[in-house]
Amino acid sequence: AQGKPIVISTWDFGVAANAEAWKILKAGGRALDAVEMGARVPESDLSNQSVGKGGLPDRDGIVTLDACIMDEKGNCGSVAGLEDIEHAISVARKVMENTPHVMLVGDGARQFALSQGFKKEKLLTPKSEAAWKKWLIKSEYKPVINSENGLPSMPGDSKNHDTIGILALDAAGNLSGACTTSGMAYKLHGRVGDSPIIGAGLYVDNEVGAVAATGVGEEVVRSVGSFLVVELMRQGLNPENACREAVKRIMEKKPELTKNIQVGFIALNKKGEYGAFAIQTGFSFAVCDNNDQKLLVKSKSAI
Which residues are known to be catalytic?
163
| Separation between Cα atoms, residue 96 and residue 91, nearest integer Å | 9
Judged by CB, which is closer to ligand SD4: 206, or 284?
284
- Smallest distance, ligand SD4 to C-beta of residue 30, A: 26
CA distances from 1 to 4, 20, 202, 289, 290 (A): 10, 21, 22, 9, 11
Size of the site for ligand SD4 (CB under 6 A): 12
Give residue 29's region: left, alpha or beta (phi > 0; psi -120 to 50): beta
Burial of 53 (0-12, 13-18, 19+ CB in 10 A): buried
| Separation between Cα atoms, residue 52 and residue 83, nearest integer Å | 10
Judged by CB, which is closer to ligand SD4: 5, or 81?
81
> Which residues make up each annotated binding site for substrate?
191-194, 214-217
- Smallest distance, ligand SD4 to C-beta of residue 23, A: 25
Q: Are 267 and 211 in contact (CB under 8 A)?
A: yes
Q: Does 162 bind ligand SD4 (CB under 6 A)?
A: yes
> Which residues make up each annotated binding site?
191-194, 214-217
Q: Does 215 bind ligand SD4 (CB under 6 A)?
A: yes
Residue 259: Cβ within 10 Å count = 10
Judged by CB, which is closer to ligand SD4: 163, or 206?
163
Residue with smallest beta-carbon separation from ligand SD4? 217
Q: Does 160 bind ligand SD4 (CB under 6 A)?
A: no
| Separation between Cα atoms, residue 108 and residue 103, nearest integer Å | 10
Q: Does 245 bind ligand SD4 (CB under 6 A)?
A: no
Beta bridge partners of 77: 69
Q: Does 214 bind ligand SD4 (CB under 6 A)?
A: yes
Q: Which of 64, 90, 163, 180 binds ligand SD4 (CB under 6 A)?
A: 163
Residues 173-202, interacting with ligand SD4 (CB under 6 A): 181, 183-184, 193-195
177 three-state secondary structure = strand
Q: What's the start-to-end Cα distance of the chain, in Å?
A: 22
Judged by CB, which is closer to ligand SD4: 163, or 269?
163
- Smallest distance, ligand SD4 to C-beta of residue 60, A: 16
- Smallest distance, ligand SD4 to C-beta of residue 280, A: 11
- Smallest distance, ligand SD4 to C-beta of residue 193, A: 3
Which residues, at least 6 apart from 230, have a Cβ–Cβ distance to it below 8 Å? 203, 204, 205, 208, 209, 210, 211, 242, 267
- Smallest distance, ligand SD4 to C-beta of residue 2, A: 27
Binding track, positions 117-146, relative to ligand SD4; x by CB under 6 A: ------------------------------
Q: Which amino acid is at 263?
A: V
Burial of 42 (0-12, 13-18, 19+ CB in 10 A): buried
Judged by CB, which is closer to ligand SD4: 48, or 214?
214
| Separation between Cα atoms, residue 232 and residue 49, nearest integer Å | 33
Q: Which of 38, 81, 199, 217 binds ligand SD4 (CB under 6 A)?
A: 217
**Kindly report the CA angle at 119 between 115 and 120, in degrees rounded to 5?**
100
Judged by CB, which is closer to ligand SD4: 25, or 221?
221
Binding site for ligand SD4 (CB under 6 A): 162-163, 181, 183-184, 193-195, 214-217
